[in-house]
Amino acid sequence: MTSVQGKRVLIVGLARTGLAAAHVLARRGAAVTVTDARPPWELRADMGDLLANKIGMELGLHREETFLKQDFIVVSPGVLPDMPQLQAARAKNIPVVSEIEVASWLLEAPMIGITGSNGKTTTTALLGEILEASTFPTFVGGNIGVPVISAVDEVPRDALVVTELSSFQLEATVNFRPHVAALLNITPNHLDRHPTLEAYIQAKARIFANQTADDFAILNADDPAVMDLAPGIAARKILFSRKGQLPEGLFAENGHIVYRVGNLERVLLTTKEIALRGEFNVENVMAAAASACVVGADFEAIRRGVAAFRGVEHRLEFVQEIHGVQYYNDSKATSVDAAAKALSAFGGGVHLILGGKDKGAPYTPIRKLLDGRVRDVYLIGVAAERIEKQLAGTVPLHDVGDLESAVQEAFERAVPGDVVLLSPACASFDQFQDYEHRGRVFKEIVKRLAALPVQPRHGAQDSNTAVRMVPIASEVPVAQSEPPELRLEPPPPPMIEPPSRPTEAPEAIPVVEPLPAPLEEGPEVVAIPEANESTESHGSDEEPELRISEALPGTPGEPQPPHISTPEPIYLYELSAEEMVYPEADFVMSVDESDEAVITLESIPAAESATDQALPFEVRTPVAAAVATRAEPDPPMQQGADSGNGARRESRGNVKQ
């Protein structure tokens, strides 16, 4: 286990992975700062916990000087590896690593890593259930949704940590060494992120980089790109094949999945016991079974686990049957190959919904699967035009724009026995938060359709003349007797009516980072903006630190965060001088003289009157009394007492009326 005590650490990206890494490292004595390009009002829900753990924040921008004074930097999976600040850090020999790398430093339990272009989530979830059926203490995480570093505080030494790993996580590993590493397949993917297919393959191959002969590599013998990597792998290789016998490993033969190793040969299960659709899922089952075998899982538990497994949400998930038409949610098919595999699981009568945010891979591999299998294709999102050009001349293509319209059109055209399949072959970020959000919206629309009493006009070829069964908020009012209006987005938190913004956008807000460890227990100073920068707030109006007295009228239909105008720093949380010396900084909020002030003394609640004697390290200013009486406070003055090390601090509290 590697110690991080006293290390200065920067976490880049404040989503699930970044938050988990920040808290775990802070609990282990690191001086942690988090940086995110998003503005503070988008992250306010997490700020309280960060403050409580004395984690510094730099929000709204990435300053190079912050990157260059760290002992190491942890990047979240969504952060581009070639961003200039990271390149500058590498030039100074500052390690830049992923969360999975740091987790491997701190975990004592053995790890099983699963990667590949497709099937990772299904294989990871299935393996977790097999191991639990074999009574192994098991943690399942990684790209499947739970950051692996979360296991550090939960998993005992004798447990098994099963991790789904993406190329984004693997490309920034250095010493990461899973005891078992599985590579399911390789097809072109994420070419909007990786410069070339070779770079993508090399990122995947990082999973084997530090393995030794004491470890295991699980490889798909049917995938040439996977087998091209085999000669450079030091671990013991266990192969699996759906297409033919193997001298050693797992293979399918006459409807049976056989495990052969050394003098042992055993039928683990039959393919009929696999409840998942599609031949590609047979490969996923074999990869999970092979991984379970090498760590000593019970053979009967493997069979029971596979037979009981019904798949994962958003991966060929059966939603409902409406008027004889089946609806499947395959929102997790964010690549062309994943969509092609899902499509191959159906024989015909498919109404296919494609599109979203393009990832750079060609869509032509889908062409050969359309004829005789797909009736209509409904295109959504920004990739619709590119998909239409590459699939032109196959089956009817309908550029419908959004998911709700696509489901509506498919509902009107489908006849009993057909299938409506959402398998987008694209990322979701053009219209949704992520693929999970997209899948939930699809299921919500389908359930809304099922609640409607009117039968669809089956086989309608002109959607303009067909009866529209899904009321669209902008077109059809919803009567009280009908189901409630469908919301494609989750309801936003309450927010203050925003004022208009200046034409020139101000710079984002830097937030003060923590001081080097060792850190004492105690509160933390949070956000003091620099001169000529603006502070913006968004979210609940219940925030106790800042109260907005009035909101200026803004441009209709363009929500913007309120603009807070004050020339003096506002401390959201005071750091007592006895705990640590605060770094010298003179941060102030910017003032736009053309705007009215949105914070006034009248809007600030009266401060408590302090009648007790000040402690030796306590700082008190005339501001509290001035606010309490709504009078102009005296000019700020330097106060403080010797706290044992002679350190003094200046407290400023003027608020401009």
Instruction: Give helix 16-27 / helix 44-52 axis angle, nearest 10°.
Output: 10
**Residue 47, helix vs strand vs coil:** helix
| Token pair listed for 540 | 């609940």
Whole-angstrom distance, CA of residue 414 vs CA of residue 325: 7
Residue 222 has a CB neighbour count (10 Å cut-off) of 16
- Give the residues across from 378 on adjacent strands: 353, 398
* 533 class by beta-carbon count within 10 Å (0-12 exposed, 13-18 middle, 19+ buried): middle
Angle ∠(521,522,528) on CA atoms, nearest 5: 135
Q: What is the dihedral of CA 336, 340, 342, 345, to 10 degrees?
A: 180
- CA 33, 36, 41 angle in degrees (round to 5)? 110
Sign of CA dihedral 342, 343, 349, 350: positive
Is 194 annotated as catalytic?
no
Q: Around Cβ 8, how many Cβ atoms within 10 Å?
A: 20
3-state secondary structure 406-457: HHHHHHHHCCCCCEEEECCCCECCCCCCCHHHHHHHHHHHHHHHHHCCCCCC
Q: How many CB atoms lie within 10 A of CB 343?
A: 23
Token pair for residue 55?
A: 């984690």
Residues 573, 545: Cα–Cα separation, whole Å: 9
368 is annotated as an active-site residue: no
Choose the catalytic residue: 23, 190, 341, 437: 190
Residue type, 428: S
CB-based contact 6:31 (threshold 8 Å): yes
190 is catalytic: yes
CA gap 518, 522 in Å, rounded = 12
> Distance (Å, rounded) from C-alpha 438 to C-alpha 627?
49
Rounded Cα distance between 343 and 635, Å, is 72
Q: Which residues contact 230 (CB under 8 A, 6 or more apart)?
A: 217, 219, 237
CA 629 to chain centre: 48
Catalytic entry in 23, 54, 118, 143: 143
> Which three-class secondary structure state does DSSP give residue 378?
strand
Contact 164, 143 (CB under 8 A): yes
Q: Give me the long-range contacts of 394-403 (CB less than 8 A, separation at least 24).
A: 394/367, 394/370, 395/370, 395/371, 398/463, 402/431, 402/488, 403/353, 403/431, 403/438, 403/441, 403/442, 403/445, 403/488
Burial code of 90-111, b = ≥16 C-beta within 10 A, e = fewer?
A: eeeebebbbbbbbbbbbbebbb
Alpha carbons 548 and 394: distance in angstroms, whole number:
58
Rounded Cα–Cα distance for residues 604 and 627 (Å): 7
Identify the active-site residue in 7, 23, 120, 538: 120
- Please give the positions annotated as active site: 120, 143, 190
